[in-house]
A and B are shown apart, each in its own frame.
Chain A
Amino acid sequence: MERPVRALLRRIGVGLFLALVVVFTSFLLVKLGAGPTDVLLGGPSPGVEERAQLVQDYGLDRPAFVQLVRYAIRVLGGEFGRSWLTSESVLDEILHRLPATLELMLYAIFLGTLMAVPTGMAAAFARDTAEDRTVRGTSVLGEAMPPFFLALLVLLVFFRWLDIAPAPSGRISIVLSPPPTITGSYFIDAFLMQDSIAARSALAQLVMPVFTLALMLGASLTLLVRGAMLAQMDAPHFVYARAQGMSREMLTIIALRGALPAIGGGLAAQSAALLSMTALVEYVFAWGGIGQYGLEAMAKADFAAVQGFILASAAIAATVHLLHAVIRRLARIRIRRA
């Protein structure tokens, strides 16, 4: 029992340290900022009372170290401050917008994986042929594509030219009112309320941003899958299996099983990039998730909101890594039992 407990304590210690680094980074953001902290957090023209309150809350009259400690205690206690633009609590605003972002990301991961795994595998089996080169070329092109430009191109073609897609006006048509919140996903909520008009509109709004993100994610995932498969296909057990004359299906299964951990790890590593892409795509489609919120806060110098957004992004990335670690651990236990 001794060892697992110590390993767990160590893990918690590392986790805390990482959290502190993130909090410090977010603290530094405002400290590096052009202007006094109370102006950055309170807006360009805070009132005398507000300013005094900010100085009090953050201990701005104290040395920087004391400020950092106070800030860390506040943030770890879930107090992200108030946006001076909306005078709402930043944490509330982020939590309110989170489902919209998660919805986009989840669909994009699903669709992107669906595109990337077969394509990457086909390219790996056709190594160095014209087919392989085409897949790789397209993927590199996709990696170099700025997400906001792809979003605009998709809008140009499907909204402006073909006129088969709705305007980039958020998560539901502007003439409809959003369904009551159950899961936070307009489509699922409208579906649950059996409001078919709202559900159809929410779905129509989803198509373009999800398609854009899935293409972006799919491009880098395809290269990842191809690389992971090639690594497997060079392994002795695979060479042996091929020499045995196994069918293409069996060989695919063997290579894919071996490649799965690398693909999973790569997907987890891509989560930070996906979050960035989602933010930019949200911004183009006025999606109303945390990405659009964060980028707009940056453009409008609303730094309590920017800090909150940075902390929230780190929290999402940390959750993904944790999930990945748990899945890997479970998979390892299964392998040991088998």
Chain B
Amino acid sequence: MIGGMLRLLRVLARRRMGAALALVVLVGFALAVLARPVAWPYPPGAQEAGLVLQAPSLAHPLGTDGNGRDVLARVIDGARYAFAVPLAALALAILIGAPLGLAAGLGGGWFDAFLSRIFQGISLVPPLLLAMALVAAMGPSLRHVVFAIGVLEAIVFARAMRDEVRALHERGFVEAATAAGNPLHRLVLVHLLPNTLARIAGEIPRQAAWALGVLAAMGFVGIATAADTTEWGSMIREGVEHLYAGQWWVVVFPGFALLVFGTALRVLAESIDEHGPRRAASGAMLAGVPGQSARALSPRGAA
């Protein structure tokens, strides 16, 4: 497994430094989460009354927070949320979105038109704000956070899927496969899904980055979870009063963790856009499908 990963890294490094670096960062976060309980003496929840708001030092490289807890341990622990919540939300989004988009793309007609209008209407509300409002209504819980993000990202995947299938349809792809005697399940599984994979896969890191941002915003406003957690947004929320008093480390380090993690995901997304397999729909997207992402306007993935 490690050999395979090394090989993957070598291939990526040859093609693109950024993507390799991004993967190293993400794997680094994962390893840090796994290693922290054995490698680092301070648990994320342990309070030391005598060590409140200590500036970064050798014993506490990222300082301690207002409750005397080690910031480094908490920042590392926060990565668990950064992995788990976007991943769970993505799974939900693809599970809902892909079949919807497939049905709309294959079926076409009124169902397609109806669905795209519904999506268009929902997308009029800024998704971040809608997700936050949903969680605020349903109550603070990570399950609700995953649900809200997943449902809204499902729209993105449904649209992507629909565009891809539609583009294949327009090229006579579906017609040809049907004429060759493929039953529906074979048409979908063998002929359509593999051809849409590139686009779906390309969406994944970008949507993960979005989910991370939404989670952090919810944590920052204080609606994501009831208790205080090591989620980076919530850590920043707790630290704001200390920031104004000059104890910057309680805010800056979780913020940097967010920034680095998010950047790694976005760099991956850009790299897939640029070097990934050609998309079936790139021609169709240029023709102006309603509600398309701005990025889709450029064949090079707008950078």
Interface, chain A (partner B; CB < 8 A): 14, 17-22, 25, 29-30, 32-34, 40, 123, 136-137, 139-141, 143-149, 152-153, 155-156, 159-160, 223-224, 226-228, 230-231, 234, 262, 265-266, 269-270, 272-273, 275-276, 279-280, 283, 294-295, 298-299, 301, 303, 306, 309-310, 313-314, 317-318, 321
Evaluate contact between B236 and A265: CB separation under 8 angstroms. no
> Which of B209, B221, B295 makes the CB contact (< 8 A) with A295?
B221
Known contacts A149-B258, A299-B222; is-contact A265 B297 (Cβ 8 Å): yes
Which of under 10, 10 to 19, 20 to 34, or 35 or more describes the interface residues of B? 35 or more
Evaluate contact between B303 and A313: CB separation under 8 angstroms. no
Among residues of A, the one whose C-beta sits closest to the C-beta of B216 is: A146
When distances are taken between beta carbons in the complex, the residues of chain B under 8 Å from A155 are 243-244
Interface, chain B (partner A; CB < 8 A): 18, 117-118, 120-130, 132-134, 136-139, 209, 213, 216-217, 220-223, 233, 236, 240, 243-244, 246, 248, 251-252, 255, 258-259, 262-263, 265-267, 270, 293-295, 297-303
Evaluate contact between B303 and A144: CB separation under 8 angstroms. no
Whole-angstrom distance between the alpha carbons of A193 and B275 in the complex? Answer: 57
Whole-angstrom distance between the alpha carbons of A146 and B215 in the complex? Answer: 11
Whole-angstrom distance between the alpha carbons of A40 and B138 in the complex? Answer: 10
Among residues of B, the one whose C-beta sits closest to the C-beta of A283 is: B221
> Which of A32, A40, A141, A270 makes the CB contact (< 8 A) with B259?
A141
Main secondary structure, interface of A, reads helix
CB distance from B216 to the nearest CB of A (A): 5
Whole-angstrom distance between the alpha carbons of A139 and B236 in the complex? Answer: 23
Known contacts A152-B255, A227-B303, A298-B133; is-contact A22 B221 (Cβ 8 Å): no
> Which of B220, B223, B301, B302 makes the CB contact (< 8 A) with A228?
B302
Known contacts A17-B117, A145-B259; is-contact A32 B138 (Cβ 8 Å): yes
Evaluate contact between A32 and B136: CB separation under 8 angstroms. no
Evaluate contact between B117 and A139: CB separation under 8 angstroms. no
> Which of B122, B233, B246, B252 makes the CB contact (< 8 A) with A153?
B252
Whole-angstrom distance between the alpha carbons of A21 and B120 in the complex? Answer: 9
When distances are taken between beta carbons in the complex, the residues of chain B under 8 Å from A137 are 18
Among residues of A, the one whose C-beta sits closest to the C-beta of B263 is: A144
Whole-angstrom distance between the alpha carbons of A86 and B190 in the complex? Answer: 59
When distances are taken between beta carbons in the complex, the residues of chain A under 8 Å from B118 are 21
Most chain B beta-carbon neighbours within 10 Å: one of A40, A144, A147: A144
Evaluate contact between A18 and B120: CB separation under 8 angstroms. yes
Evaluate contact between A227 and B223: CB separation under 8 angstroms. no
Evaluate contact between B130 and A152: CB separation under 8 angstroms. no
When distances are taken between beta carbons in the complex, the residues of chain B under 8 Å from A33 are 137-139
Known contacts A140-B267, A313-B126; is-contact A266 B294 (Cβ 8 Å): yes
> Which of B217, B248, B266, B298 makes the CB contact (< 8 A) with A143?
B266
When distances are taken between beta carbons in the complex, the residues of chain A under 8 Å from B252 are 153, 156
Known contacts A153-B252, A227-B303; is-contact A29 B117 (Cβ 8 Å): no
Can you give 22 A-B contacts (C-beta < 8 A)?
A: A21-B121, A22-B121, A30-B137, A33-B139, A34-B138, A140-B270, A144-B262, A146-B217, A147-B217, A149-B259, A224-B297, A224-B302, A227-B301, A273-B128, A279-B129, A298-B221, A299-B221, A303-B136, A310-B125, A310-B130, A313-B125, A313-B129
